[in-house]
Amino acid sequence: MTVLQVGNVRFGYAGDTLFENVTFSVGAGDRAALVAPNGAGKSTLLRIIAHEIEPDAGMSVIRKEATVGYYRQSHEVRAEGDVLSAFLAGFCDVLARRTALSEAQHAAASGSKEDLDALVRAEDAYHLVRGDALEREVSMLAQKLGFSEQDLARPVASLSGGERGRLTLGTILAKKADLLLLDEPTNHLDLDTIAWLESYLTAYKGALVIVSHDRAFLDNVSNQTLELGTRGLRVYPLSLSLIHI
């Protein structure tokens, strides 16, 4: 099933064409490595796909109702709340009920029947949206990205730049989107975490378009290659190592 269709896209700055005649499609299970020299417009093309900027010509169409997860090199989560809340940011209903549960737990310290009854209702509401199960899933994902159980309670504002980068990646992976756009996802990751990310993405059910300077990572993850040039884009149904770009 096709998730993304890009047709005859052209884009440039101040009258100078950066790329044109860009046409390709990506389906569920496709893991496409987007490659080109520095400055050729890989990140710009991802922004067009994500509908953050409009192309000068052509179109980028994502299947109706498909969800999108977009990891940008410069994107960071808001420095608000704790780490676990940030991981749950893509699940608004769960996060709202988690906040309500926390407030009910504090209020229940009064011991009043009214507050204790409110706590029971808040717990039931949280279980109803599978909040506890989602917390366990997210906690496991966080650990794979280098966060300990204790880290989940840390304020996001206390994290280093590298930790925020890993947190941002985690919030996007947690959504299990139909289409993942990953721009240099191995930044801030050590070798063990990169190896885990490779296996995670290889097993991913959705569609992926990945930009990375790490050729070994692209070789291990991708099953097709998109070579971007000024005059168009070539599609190879092979990983990067097999076509010797």
Cα angle at 138 between 133 and 141, to 5 degrees?
135
Tell which residue, 141, 152, 156, 157, has the closest CA to residue 196. Answer: 141
Sheet with 16-27: strands ordered across: 16-27, 2-13, 57-62
Q: DSSP 3-state assignment of 237?
A: coil
Radius of gyration of the chain from Cα atoms? 21
Strand residue runs (E) in 28-142: 31-35, 57-62, 68-71
Going residue by residue through the chain, which has 245 residues, state the pLDDT in tens, using 9 for 90 and above: 899 999 999 999 877 899 999 999 999 999 999 999 888 999 999 999 999 999 999 999 999 999 999 999 876 666 678 898 888 887 878 888 888 888 989 998 898 888 888 889 988 888 888 888 888 888 999 999 999 989 999 998 898 888 888 999 998 999 899 999 999 999 889 999 999 999 999 999 999 999 999 999 999 999 999 999 888 899 988 766 655 55
Give pLDDT, residue 151: 93
pTM score, whole prediction: 0.85
